[in-house]
Chains A and B, each alone.
Chain A
Amino acid sequence: MTALDFKGRAARAMHDPQLSAALLRVKSHFVTGRNMAAARFADFETLRDRAAAIRRRSIARMPDLLERFEASAEAAGAKVHWAADAAEARSIALGILKAAGAKTALKSKSMVTEEIELNAYLEAAGIQPIETDLGEYIVQLRGEKPSHIIAPAIHLSKQDVADTFRSHHTDLDPERDLSQRNTLVREARVKLRAAFLSADAGITGANMLVAETGSIVLVSNEGNIDLTATAPRLHVALVGIEKVVETWDEAGTILRVLARSATGQDMSSYVTCLTGVAGEGETGPKESHIILLDNGRSAVRDTDRREILACIRCGACLNHCPVYASIGGHAYGSIYPGPMGSVLSPAIDGLKAHADLPNASTLCGRCEEVCPVRIPLPKLLRHWREDGFARHLPPRGERVGLGLWSWMAGRPLAYGLSQRLARLGLRTLAWMQGGRVRRLPVVKGFTATRTIAPPKGGSFQARWKGPR
């Protein structure tokens, strides 16, 4: 089977009734939750303004903050590594795990480890990664990828999860009742508890790096991150270089907008702050590594799309996006879907790999309206389109058409003539097709699900005779 392109994946997704049902839940749960949480907070808009300024300030001061973070983290006993790309990050991570003799590694949900495809790499090297976030665990058992940045298994039903557990947890009674959600959650809890207490290493991402203390901050609702980063003897964090902020005061403001925008909570159930290594009498690993990943981030900082680096991965732009709601996460063909993914993915993998993503949007602006750090996503998508246009990526027909239009539509004679021809064409088609246009040539897609009433009479400007 050849891989489908974006349009093919989107079409398949839109014909999947179960996915449609799941995507309806995104709208009803996440969208309502976010709006209620924003309304409960006295002045959420001001908080967003501050969060937006904090993230922009951090991006502007990135090199200084990263160096400060490194110095503070190392003073607290962690080791900081720098990786230019995915391959370097993977090999640093593997080197650390091998040196420590790790055979199993717990993982908490981390988009960066998905981005660098760490799991497959570790498995090939004989190290078993165990995803501990329930959604990621389910997706890992199924050999799939997450379909949402904060809700990886959103595309699956309870029945899918039950079937997955039945086929993988083969040591349990095959006849057991798995019809209830809480039974499924319990079963995963028991399975993973054993792993928590025996694994050699824990691998996490990070939501923020706090430069002043060299701390990393993570959020979860399950508590799996706390166990992943605390129970094993070795901890490795993989973090994008853009995640740095300077102070705890800044981190606090970001946490307040993050939970509200992501799940509609005032605060995530678990906020985990890790600084250095465990000292005398403390619980936790004596060895801790932080791998700072670039992978296209520093390059995008030098373009008019740099504001995407302010993203705090709350997922609100996905939840409010009508295109995401139609096609789901997998159709994007990128680990980061939705509006933020359509801006970030081309920065990571190159525009050619994701040429459709910046274009597959109506630029309706709902993402920007809810983004807690006020990233102008439609504008950034448009900048990618400009980049693509300059590199002749759109099909020839589109480029020629646009060129013709910009030449013609500013010249009264040519414009008037084009209007006359178009009207004639539409009326002729309508006459042939029973009063309305039912099949347009060339742009057939438009009339696949629509008809067009042909224009009556001459154009407005041809008929306008001045004020009566």
Chain B
Amino acid sequence: MSASPTAALFVTCLVDLMRPEVGFAAARLIERAGFQVVVPRQGCCGQPNYNAGDREGARKLARAAIAALEPFDIIVVPSGSCGGMLAKHYPELFEASDPWAQRAIAVAGRVQELTQFLAAHPLPETGKLPAGRVAYHDSCSSLREMRVHDEPRALLAAHTDAELCKLREAETCCGFGGLFCVKYPDISAHMARDKCDAIVESGAEMVVSGDLGCLLNIEGTLDKRGSAIRVRHIAEVLAGDA
């Protein structure tokens, strides 16, 4: 056993299902930052149920996630959205009298979004990875629940040659919204169209974000338009997989 500290990686069910490569990239980055990565058996954090008004269902999933994550001092999540669920919503999920409430609060306090973690635990210097003209998309939950803004930009500047393009209405939602994009597909598509217009206008060759939901939405919309702009998770870019 090495003496390096341990960090738990909560990959999120969307990464697990759709883009395992994002999970592997995140794991490599955490290791390079000097941590031993542990991936506890995990399912979903419960956010879909929570946002659909199914508090009981969300609690069920949260109890499983809390039990899996509570042995760890550092919990890294490559998603502002699932990170926000764990860090901001878990503490409000249970009644104060419920014994799970304290456990939820304890877990919440140890959650870090991937770029927050990497900003606090710097990666060793390597050469600058090629990235080109990049538009960084802040996911709403990264920005407003996790308060992440400067971290991914600083990481891109430190480890890649990325030239950041100014994105019009950078703080506007891309229209993914979890179940929203299936329940209100027309409105979601309209918002995604506006976001992709802004991305195309920015002159970027690659869109980077920290949330897979936004990325699937943006990538799918750009592909449908026949755009060649690449769409990548920040973990992939920093790990040199982009």
Contact = CB atoms under 8 A, between A and B. Distances in A.
Note whether A and B contact each other (Cβ less than 8 A): yes
Interface of A: 7, 10-11, 14, 27, 322-323, 326-327, 359-366, 368-369, 382, 384-390, 394, 398-399, 402-403, 405-412, 415, 419, 422-423, 436, 443-453, 455-461, 463-464, 466-468
A444 B145 CA distance: 30
Contacts of B110: none
Contact of A387 (B21, B53, B145): B53
13 contacts: A10-B184, A322-B191, A364-B144, A364-B172, A364-B177, A365-B140, A382-B50, A387-B53, A406-B46, A415-B44, A443-B182, A450-B220, A459-B17
B223 A436 contact: yes
B202 interface: no
A464 B23 contact: yes
A415 B221 CA distance: 28
A230 to B, nearest CB: 43
Given A362-B175, A385-B52, A436-B223, A326 B191 contact: yes
A402 B54 contact: yes
B55 interface: yes
Given A365-B140, A445-B182, A450 B39 contact: no
Interface string B175-191: 11111111111111111
B144 A410 contact: no
Given A409-B13, A419-B16, 4 more contacts: A323-B187, A323-B191, A363-B51, A450-B224
A398 B61 contact: no
B39 A464 contact: yes
B24 interface: yes
A362 B140 contact: yes
Contacts of A323: 187, 191
Main secondary structure of the interface of B (DSSP, over half): helix
A360 B219 CA distance: 23
B172 A366 contact: yes
Nearest to B191: A322
Interface of B: 11, 13, 15-21, 23-24, 27, 31, 36-39, 41-44, 46, 48-58, 60-61, 63-65, 140-141, 144-145, 169, 171-173, 175-194, 216-217, 219-221, 223-224
By DSSP majority rule, is chain A's interface helix, strand, loop, or mixed? helix
Contacts of A459: 16-17, 20
Given A327-B187, A364-B144, A385-B52, A322 B173 contact: yes
B220 A452 contact: yes
Contacts of A359: 180, 183-184
Contacts of B189: 445, 448-450
Contact of B176 (A362, A451, A463): A362
A467 B187 contact: no
Nearest to B193: A449
A360 B184 contact: yes
A412 B39 CA distance: 13
Contacts of A403: 54, 57
Given A364-B177, A365-B144, A456 B61 contact: no
A449 B224 contact: yes
Contacts of B169: 27
Given A360-B184, A366-B171, A450-B220, A455 B49 contact: no
A455 B17 CA distance: 7
A406 B186 contact: no
Given A364-B173, A450-B192, A464-B39, A394 B23 contact: no
A369 B149 CA distance: 15
B49 A406 contact: yes
Nearest to A404: B57
Contact of B53 (A27, A364, A388, A455): A388
A461 B16 contact: yes
Nearest to B54: A402
B175 A450 contact: no
A385 B145 contact: no
B60 A386 contact: no
Contacts of B219: 453
B207 to A, nearest CB: 14
B53 A386 contact: yes
B17 A456 contact: no
A399 B54 CA distance: 9
Contacts of A458: 20
Contact of A406 (B31, B60, B173, B188): B60
A408 B43 CA distance: 8
A408 B16 CA distance: 15
A405 B191 contact: no
A219 to B, nearest CB: 28
Nearest to A457: B20
Contact of B187 (A14, A384, A406): A14
A453 to B, nearest CB: 7
A446 B42 CA distance: 27
* Most chain A beta carbons < 10 A, residue from B172, B173, B190: B190
Contacts of B46: 406, 409
A389 B144 contact: no
B51 A382 contact: yes
A445 B185 contact: yes
A466 B6 CA distance: 12
Report which residue of B20, B48, B140 has the largest number of chain A beta carbons within 10 angstroms of its beta carbon. Answer: B20
Contacts of A327: 187, 190
B182 A446 contact: yes
A333 to B, nearest CB: 14
A365 B173 CA distance: 9
Contacts of B21: 456
Contact of B17 (A423, A448, A450, A468): A423
Nearest to B141: A365
Contacts of B179: 398
A406 B20 contact: no
Contacts of B17: 419, 422-423, 455, 459
A446 B20 contact: no
Contacts of B51: 363, 382, 385
Nearest to A390: B53
Q: Which of B18, B42, B181 has the most CB of A within 10 A?
A: B18
